[in-house]
Amino acid sequence: MLKLIDVGKKYKRNKDQYFYAANSINYEFSETGFYLLYGKSGSGKSTIANLIASFEKPDEGHILYENIEINKLNQVNLNYYRQKIVGMVFQHYNLIEDLTVLENVILPRKIIQDKLSNAVADAEKILDELNIRKLENKVCKNLSGGEKQRVAIARCLINNPKIIICDEPTGALDEKNSIQVIKLLKKLSKRHLIIVISHNYDLIKTYADNILYLSDGKLKEKHNLHYINSLKRFNFKKNHIHFFNFIKFSIKNFLNNKIKNLLILLSTSFCIFSSLIVLGFVNGSNDFLNKETYARFDYSFSTISKIEEIHIDNSFLKLNKMERLSHSELEKLISSYPFISFGMNYNKLLENSSAYIDNHKLESYSLSFVYNFDCINKELIIVGEKTANDGIYINESLDKKLQEKLNIKTALGRYINIKLFKEFRFDLYDNGEQISDKFSFEKSYFVKGIVSEFNFLSTPKIYLCYQDFDSNMKNISSINLSKYYSKNYTWFDYIYNSSGNEEQTSFSHYIFLNDLSKIRDFDAFIDSINSTDDIEVSCDGYLLKNTFEDIIYAIRIGVFIFMILTIIGMVLIIGISSFSTFAFKKKQNAILISLGINIEQLFSIYILENFFILVLSLIFGFILSFIFQPIINKLIFNVFQLKDLINIPFITAFNIPLFLPTIIVFFSFFITYFSTYLPIYFSKNINISKELKDE
Ligand code: ADP
Ligand code: MG
């Protein structure tokens, strides 16, 4: 039945010297019976036990069970051998101390994927037989040695193995317990092949059917056996793996390392939290760019001019000569853009401006035009009226300044008096004469509203309605020029009739977006114009937006790198955690492997443990980011005045509800899966006999 043919096992004595711990063993055991294998300490008894149990492979010879060569089986067949054919009882029991008696006993049944109810029924029968039924719900670490040894035997019996090897089963027991255990084994030898290894010859000899004496790795008793090469395998059906079979194990493992797991939990929660914040930034900054940078009150106000490159002879220098486009050129250019209007550039007339409120002179403000107040972004008007072509708007920044300076609640509803003055000298080329005139304009404007805009970069500003200003200019005459031309000649006429390369035209026209819903088309218009060499549009809002985009993209790359590092950190944390669990649980794994567990089952234990951690850290990570998103946003707003820069797309991304959380969950599971698999893979190479050796 069980045959050892010329079996030899060598170990290293020192650097390059070997010795035989088992030396040409030739023996055939019968199907049942009580065998005593005895010999002095170090004679090779445990070596033979480990060889029969398949925990070690022989260097020489063959071990055959029913003519199946054990030392040549593949992993699946080897597991079957460990599950169903052979069982081992150790001096120091090798139970899983944190599990209860019942849980330990049914463990080999779980490994062969039997129904739990069958396993429990059989286990209770065995516990009854061994008189330890009352212990079934006790945790093993609380049992006495004699009790533990009986539990170990019960666990060994649950899958009804053909061979039970007991390596010094009474070594740790007193005489009374020893005799009880030996009697029990004697009883079992009616149905099983029992091989008891002991150096306590006197105690056991009376029970033994066969006595084998081992000395220096050599067996005194020998049979003459012949090896016949056979390729026989075990004939069995492989079971499906049930992933949750070992959930109790995972929970116990998880709870046994509370502090370690708590620390891991904290780190992975933080990783998930910071990844979410990074994604929130990417998403939020995108929204922010779209919302805030287009949300300038004067976004649509630009100038346009013709650029001519002038090459200087014998020099690599080039000069840019700016010139106002002719009306026909301009009209042609904007003909397919109905949302664009143009007008005279009045910058020269605005050059010396002063503004007063309650006889109080305003310092450092700028005047800016809006085509008319019907076309602007009304959401930006935070207080006041939404249309007011006869009035002006001021921005928050100016309002704040006025509040402080004049000790008022707001400048809304007050009048601001704007005065413009400029002295012009005209060369009248037709007769060489020179005349001069004074441009002056004064008007009290009612502050109709306060505008919120991209505060981060805003200076105090007054917004005038271009159409209103333009009609004023069409009404105010230049007295001396009118005299000269002998007809009413307005300041509008003066700028309108100037040639494109004269200073008073500022070498450009104003162009305006007159329908704010077309702001992106306006951008496209500017892009297309600026991509040509000879015409240039310059728009503060557009410039600012582009600069800001560049900055945000740069930051985005930075935070993405941070996120990748975080994810690598998370992989490492989970990997190191499972590796340390593996190292910590080496003995437990060796026990499970000795019972014939396969690698997938072992994996399921650890993956579940890691999944607990993962699920918890996902929950914590999400809660943390939920709590901290508004706090971080508030901080950013207080420092930079950037609103809602972090916007974690909890609800939607790409219009798919819960898209991002789902992605993160999947990704995390993926990471966990692989970082768990690695250390488990190493378990394949666990040296079972070394891990389970009695100290
Ligand atoms: P016994 O169980 O009879 O006390 P063992 O079979 O454990 O003896 O050991 C037999 C001999 O082999 C001893 O000299 C022991 O030191 C040696 N030995 C056992 N296992 C190993 C091993 N893994 N590596 C090296 N030497 C070993
Ligand atoms: Mg031994």
> Nearest residue CA, atom 21 of ligand 1?
11
Higher pLDDT, 547 or 629: 629
Ligand 1 pocket residue status of 18, Cβ below 6 Å: no
Q: What percent of the chain has pLDDT over 90?
A: 44
User: Could you tell me the distance, in angstroms and rounded to a whole number, from the CA of residue 584 to the centre of ligand 1?
Assistant: 25
CB-neighbour burial class of residue 182 (10 A; exposed 0-12, middle 13-18, buried 19+):
buried
Is residue 37 scored above 90 in pLDDT?
yes
User: Could you tell me the distance, in angstroms and rounded to a whole number, from the CA of residue 46 to the centre of ligand 2?
Assistant: 4
Cα–Cα distance for residue pair 120/136, rounded to 1 Å: 10
Q: How far is CA 532 from CA 20, 306, 308, in A?
A: 90, 11, 12
Q: Whole-model pTM?
A: 0.70
User: Could you tell me the distance, in angstroms and rounded to a whole number, from the CA of residue 108 to the centre of ligand 2?
Assistant: 24
Is residue 116 scored above 90 in pLDDT?
no
Ligand 1 pocket residue status of 19, Cβ below 6 Å: no
Domain boundaries, the chain: 2-240, 255-293+549-691, 301-513
Provide the residue type at 410 as one letter: T
Higher pLDDT, 89 or 572: 89
Contact 393, 384 (CB under 8 A): yes
The pLDDT of 402-414, averaged and rounded, is 90
Cα–Cα distance for residue pair 544/293, rounded to 1 Å: 7
In this predicted structure, what is the pLDDT of residue 517? 81
Ligand nearest to the backbone CA of 21: 1
User: Could you tell me the distance, in angstroms and rounded to a whole number, from the CA of residue 550 to the centre of ligand 1?
Assistant: 71
Measured from the Cα of 50, ligand 1's closest atom is: 6
Q: How far is CA 480 from the centre of its chain?
A: 75
Q: How far is CA 694 from CA 169, 401, 659, in A?
A: 11, 85, 54
Token pair 């609640």: residue: 409
Ligand nearest to the backbone CA of 44: 1
Ligand 1 pocket residue status of 50, Cβ below 6 Å: no
Question: Given pLDDT bands bounded at 50, 70 and 90, which one contains residue 456?
Answer: low
Token pair 């220098």: residue: 317
Task: HSE, CB side, 13 Å, CA atoms: give it for residue 665.
Answer: 13
Measured from the Cα of 43, ligand 1's closest atom is: 3
Ligand 1 pocket residue status of 676, Cβ below 6 Å: no
> Nearest residue CA, atom 23 of ligand 1?
690
> Nearest residue CA, atom 5 of ligand 1?
44
The pLDDT of 108-123, averaged and rounded, is 91
CATH of 2-240, one of 3.40.50.1100, 1.10.10.10, 2.40.50.140, 3.40.50.300: 3.40.50.300
Question: How many other C-beta atoms can be found within 10 angstroms of the C-beta atom of residue 647?
Answer: 18
Cα–Cα distance for residue pair 330/629, rounded to 1 Å: 49
In this predicted structure, what is the pLDDT of residue 541? 80
Measured from the Cα of 12, ligand 1's closest atom is: 25
Measured from the Cα of 19, ligand 1's closest atom is: 12
In this predicted structure, what is the pLDDT of residue 430? 67
> Nearest residue CA, atom 12 of ligand 1?
21
Ligand nearest to the backbone CA of 214: 1
Contact 511, 342 (CB under 8 A): yes
User: Could you tell me the distance, in angstroms and rounded to a whole number, from the CA of residue 4 to the centre of ligand 2?
Assistant: 19
Ligand 1 pocket residue status of 9, Cβ below 6 Å: no
In this predicted structure, what is the pLDDT of residue 600? 82
In this predicted structure, what is the pLDDT of residue 211? 94
Ligand 1 pocket residue status of 47, Cβ below 6 Å: yes
Is residue 657 scored above 70 in pLDDT?
no
Q: Reduced to 3 states, what is the DSSP secondary structure of residue 226?
A: coil
The pLDDT of 502-531, averaged and rounded, is 88
What are the tens digits of pLDDT across the range 144-155? Answer: 999 999 999 999
Ligand nearest to the backbone CA of 25: 1
Q: Reduced to 3 states, what is the DSSP secondary structure of residue 530?
A: helix
In this predicted structure, what is the pLDDT of residue 455? 57
In this predicted structure, what is the pLDDT of residue 429? 63
Ligand 1 pocket residue status of 171, Cβ below 6 Å: no
Ligand 1 pocket residue status of 280, Cβ below 6 Å: no
Ligand nearest to the backbone CA of 38: 1
* Token pair belonging to 259: 């502090």
Q: How many residues does the chain have?
A: 695
User: Could you tell me the distance, in angstroms and rounded to a whole number, from the CA of residue 33 to the centre of ligand 1?
Assistant: 26
Cβ partners under 8 Å of residue 468, min gap 6: 372, 389, 390
Question: How many other C-beta atoms can be found within 10 angstroms of the C-beta atom of residue 670?
Answer: 10
Let me know the angle formed at the C-alpha of 319 by 313 and 322, rounded to the nearest 5 degrees. Answer: 135
Measured from the Cα of 687, ligand 1's closest atom is: 23
Measured from the Cα of 39, ligand 1's closest atom is: 3
- Which among 19, 46, 218 is the best mutation to test ligand 1's pocket, defined by most ligand atoms within 8 Å of the CB? 46
Which residues are near ligand 2, the ion (C-beta closer than 5 Å)? 46
Is residue 135 scored above 90 in pLDDT?
yes
In this predicted structure, what is the pLDDT of residue 10? 95
Chain-wide mean pLDDT for the chain?
A: 88
Alpha-carbon dihedral 197, 201, 205, 208, rounded to 10 degrees = 10
Higher pLDDT, 243 or 316: 316
- Which among 7, 9, 10, 11 is the best mutation to test ligand 1's pocket, defined by most ligand atoms within 8 Å of the CB? 11
Question: Given pLDDT bands bounded at 50, 70 and 90, which one contains residue 695?
Answer: low
Q: Reduced to 3 states, what is the DSSP secondary structure of residue 645?
A: coil
Ligand nearest to the backbone CA of 39: 1
Question: How many other C-beta atoms can be found within 10 angstroms of the C-beta atom of residue 603?
Answer: 21
> Nearest residue CA, atom 14 of ligand 1?
42
Question: Given pLDDT bands bounded at 50, 70 and 90, which one contains residue 35?
Answer: very high
